[in-house]
Structure 1
Amino acid sequence: MIRLERFTPADFSQLIEWINSERLMKEWSGSLFSYPLTEESLAWYIEGANDLQNPDVFVYKAVDTKTGEAVGHISLGSISQRDRSARVTRVLVGNQCTRGKGVCRRMVQALLRIGFEELQLHRISLGVYDFNHAALKCYLKAGFRQEGVMRDVVRHGDTYWSLVEMGILEDEWRELQQPAAADAPTETPPEEAA
């Protein structure tokens, strides 16, 4: 299981260790940060975050409940109370050993639960680079739908990266929360079977 906890200055060094290349920095943050990641830039990043009275952005570390270890990072930003919408940003499964084991999906599901249940959002979106097949698969499994592609939006070196836009609506998310038992065949009561 994954539990999301507030990302605090005590977590800065772990994230800095995980973001160990300029390319990974750009994949994780777009143009928000420059490489190398610093404690000063992370202090700016969390300034005003996680304020329930004035929600604009929530920044979390993902913790494996079995081990108590931080295994990733995720945030929910661009929160609009008027439109009841937000955007998943800066998703990272930090420990390479845990990649490909469903950690990303569980992080995203935990964040969707916060967005749809606690914040009462109607729509949550995200953008993912089209070459990141593992992330695309993760988001589809979590219930997101592909909505379009923004071509050549980021330049990295001599290449351009395209961004796949994805979204999920509250009704779609609630439908995914229905127990699987609803689809199972029901047994006929013994008195009716005779």
Structure 2
Amino acid sequence: MVKDLLKGSKIALTSFKDSHLPSLEKWYNDIYFLRNFDMIPAFPRSAKELNVTLKNLFESQDKFMFAINSVKDDEIVGITGFENILWNNGTATIYIGIGEKDHRGCGIGSEALYLTMEFGFEELNLHRIQLTVISYNKPAIKLYEKLGFKKEGTYRQFIYRDGNRYDMYLYGILRSEWEATIKK
């Protein structure tokens, strides 16, 4: 039997629709979201700029992006996907961001990241999935470790924010570790 690879009990990973763009624009104007989602300066972006970024992403051969949609009301609540896919090595960098504040901390991120990892290992046939996270993003670190990611390194004093330097951590998970986790 074939399973519904991109659907969980709370969310479904889908393609982007034009109707998602206003939500994406709202998140890319939310400094809190941007400072946890990315390492680059938290610079607001317009719908027009985001549309160009999305077009480039969809034409790429080394990136995948999904909309995280609530099953309950089919509302977009976040984004997830892969970048820097090295097909010959079977490696990729995963990312996730829950843009809607009222959907943070209620298990949606966990389910979305699990489904993204499942897609990476079972559909893309990846061997290794990695990510980076800023040391102050404690909820994300807890989530990554819960799903089996192992801390592999520290980029010391990598991020400069609000007059302080923060470490950035490298986490990774191998297919064999993923398989051992899902068999429990």
Q: TM-score, normalised by structure 2?
A: 0.86
Q: Is the 8 A contact 1:74 1:88 kept in 2?
A: yes
Q: Distance in 2 between matches of 1:152 and 1:9?
A: 39
Which of the residues 21, 40, 43 maps onto 2:30?
Answer: 21
1:95 aligns with 2:100: yes
Runs of 4+ in 1 over 4 A off after TM superposition: none
Q: Kindly provide the amino acid, as one letter, of the partner of residue 123 in structure 2.
A: E
- Once the 2 structures are TM-superposed, how far is the Cα of residue 88 of structure 1 from its aligned partner? 0.9
Q: Find the aligned partners of 2:33 and 2:72 in 1 and give their Cα distance.
A: 27
* TM-score under structure 1 length normalisation: 0.82
- In structure 2, distance between residues paired with 1:19 and 1:39: 9
Q: Distance in 2 between matches of 1:48 and 1:20?
A: 20
Whole-angstrom CA distance in 1 between matches of 2:13 and 2:46: 22
Higher relative contact order (CA 8 A, sep 6+): 2
In structure 2, what is the equivalent of residue 168 of structure 1? 173
Q: CA-atom RMSD, angstroms?
A: 1.9
Deviation at 1:68, TM superposition (A): 1.4
Query: Please, which of 113, 116, 128 is the counterpart of residue 118 of structure 2?
Result: 113
SS, match of residue 63 in structure 1? strand
Q: Aligned partners of 2:103, 2:35: CA distance in 1, in Å? A: 21
Letter of the structure 2 residue corresponding to residue 46 of structure 1: L
Matches within 5 A, 1:1-194: 1=9, 2-31=11-40, 35-50=43-58, 55-89=61-95, 91-178=96-183, 180=184
- Alpha-carbon distance in structure 1 between the residues aligned to 2:17 and 2:83: 16
Which residues of structure 1 form unaligned runs of 5+? 181-194
Structure 1 residue 71: Cα displacement: 1.6
2-structure distance, mates of 1:59, 1:163: 23
Letter in 1 for 2:153: G
One-letter code aligned to 1:80 = L
**Structure 1 Cα separation of the partners of residues 30 and 99 of structure 2:** 13
Look at both structures and tell me which one has the larger radius of gyration over its CA atoms: 1
